[in-house]
A and B are shown apart, each in its own frame.
Chain A
Amino acid sequence: MGLNELYARWLDTATRAGFAISLCAFLAYVGGLLPAYVPLEELPRYWALPVDRFIEMTGAPQGWAWLGELGYGDGLNLAAIALLGLVTPVCYVRLVPALIAQRDWLQAALAAAQLVVLLVAASGLAG
């Protein structure tokens, strides 16, 4: 299997999973199956505010704090959004050993470096 096909297969699967999870989480959120951290009918009062003011008024989570709010519809949806941010790192995790197996050292080093950049960004340590 070529690298393009391998990456396409992983990207396709991860993206479809992200899509399905986002859709389910969103339906649970707007359908009222889960309580909302900021009630939906109150959101229009806050969504025109700058983000800092929004957080100040609603107490909405920042950083990784949403992990503690997964019982809320909005917290669960942030988790689904974060999963989409993990699709590319997951594909690179599969790509690096495939490049190494082909002894394509330069491209493998580039892919490994990219993976480090993505993981540092996701960690929130540098932001």
Chain B
Amino acid sequence: MEIAAVPWWIWPIALFAVSFAIGIVAVHAGVGGGVLFVPIVGSLFPFHLDFVRGAGLMFALAGTLSAGPPLLRAGMASLRLVLPLALVGSIASFAGALVGFAVPTELLQTLLGVLIIGIALLIWRLRGADSANIEADALGELLRLEGEFRDPAAGVSIDWRTHRTLLGLAAFGAIGFVGGIFGLGAGFANVPALNLLMAAPLKVAVGSSGLLISVINSSAAWVYLHRGALLPLVVVPAILGVMLGSRIGARLLRVTPAPVIRRLVIVVMLLAGARALSRGLGIWV
């Protein structure tokens, strides 16, 4: 059947189903899901990329808002860790969203694809940081970026603290800027920045990444809304689907073993990176 011949109401139903599935997977990967939503919906649905980017940002926002409460209650998201990083990230994301409407997308897509694949390979090569042996730096101590996380899946309790706090803040500035440009939550970069750079335990990194996205995307979302790039027929089925899916995903996360999450993070990032690269180079637009 020709796409033009498909009744309009089929598209919101299909969007809801796709968004529900991505919502479950996204929480496990510590991403808002925009990084999956934008390439999948941009390829398979008839909407212009402007509306898909706007919906992607709201999708990531809605999914992480929905997943936030269970993640906080399970101790997997640390508000204390999120506050300073989200402040830097949201200022940068707001600036990035403004720039995103003015910069050639192909070049930035290519760079983004290279960056994501590079980070995925880095995670694959490196082991997760061992938080137990980390000495907090002065800024981390001042901000009291520490906590205790009980992991029911592994049956252990981890006293964690972060280090390289200044570098972490710089990283979240860069991540927020890139995320704002593309209408992504940029959780694909949050997790390695929190885990590999700042040494937060992987599950705390995944959980806090979700909460970070909910704060950071709240500022960039307004840019898309004010520019008219949020089409309700695209945005609302997507956010309803992801809000339901991510609630289920957040509950499953608590009992999913960390190695499984790590492998999932790598696969999600490689797929998303390859897709961004192919679009940037014009191989598969």
Q: Which residue of A lies closest to B218 (CB)?
A: A88
Cβ-neighbour of B51 out of A12, A18, A23, A47 (below 8 A): A47
- The answer to whether A121 and B218 touch (CB under 8 A), given A11-B68, A26-B236, A60-B228, is yes
Q: Which of B51, B75, B235 contacts A81 (CB 8 A)?
A: B235
B90 within 8 A of A: yes
Q: B121 — which chain A residues lie within 8 A by C-beta?
A: none
Interface flag for B221 (CB, 8 Å): yes
Interface 1/0s, chain A 28-50, versus B by CB < 8 A? 01100000000011011001111
Contact status of A3 and B79, CB under 8 A, knowing A29-B232, A84-B58: yes
B177 to chain A, nearest CB (A): 14
Instruction: Give chain B's interface residue range (CB within 8 Å of chain A).
Output: 35 or more
Residue of B nearest to A114 (CB): B87
In this complex, what residue of A is CB-closest to B73? A8
Per-residue contact bits, chain A 59-92, to B (CB 8 Å; 1 contact, 0 not) = 0111110000000011001101110110111000
Whether, in the assembled complex, B86 has its beta carbon less than 8 Å from a beta carbon of chain A, the answer is: yes
Smallest CB separation, A110 vs chain B (Å)? 5
Are B48 and A54 neighbours in the complex by a CB distance under 8 Å? yes
Distance, CA A54 to CA B70, complexed state (A): 39
Residues of A within 8 A of B98 (CB): 127
- Contact status B215-A88, CB under 8 Å: yes
How far apart are B155's CB and chain A's nearest CB, in angstroms?
A: 22
The distance in angstroms between the C-alpha atoms of A79 and B218, with both chains bound, is 15
Closest to A112 in B: B87
B236-247 to A contact mask, C-beta < 8 Å, 1/0: 110110010000
Provide the bound-state CA to CA distance between A71 and B143, in Å: 47
A62 and B218 contact, CB distance less than 8 A: no
Does residue A113 face the partner (Cβ distance < 8 Å to B)? Answer: yes
Residue A51 interfacial (CB < 8 Å):
yes
Count of chain A residues with a beta carbon within 8 Å of a chain B beta carbon: 60
A7 to B73, CA, bound (A): 10
Contact stretch, chosen from B22-30, B59-67, B129-137, B270-278 = B59-67
Determine if B72 is an interface residue (Cβ-Cβ < 8 Å): yes
Taken residue by residue from 1 to 24, chain A's Cβ proximity to chain B (1 for < 8 Å, 0 otherwise) reads as 001110111011011001100110
Q: Are B46 and A113 in contact (CB under 8 A)?
A: no
Distance A22 CA – B232 CA, assembled complex (angstroms): 10
In Å, the complex CA distance between A55 and B51 comes to 12
Bound-state Cα–Cα, A75 to B54, Å = 16
Chain B residues with Cβ under 8 A from A85's Cβ?
61, 218, 221-222, 225
Q: Does B108 touch A at the CB level, under 8 Å?
A: no
What are 11 A-B pairs at a CB distance below 8 A? A3-B80, A5-B73, A18-B62, A44-B4, A62-B227, A64-B226, A85-B218, A87-B218, A117-B91, A124-B226, A127-B98
A sample of 12 more A-B contacts (CB under 8 A), given A44-B8, A85-B218, A110-B83, is: A8-B73, A11-B68, A18-B62, A30-B233, A47-B48, A81-B236, A81-B239, A113-B87, A117-B90, A118-B218, A121-B94, A126-B94
Chain B residues with a Cβ under 8 A of chain A:
4, 8-9, 12, 46-48, 50-51, 54, 58, 61-62, 65-66, 68-70, 72-73, 75, 77-80, 83-84, 86-87, 90-91, 94, 97-98, 142-144, 214-215, 218-223, 225-237, 239-240, 243
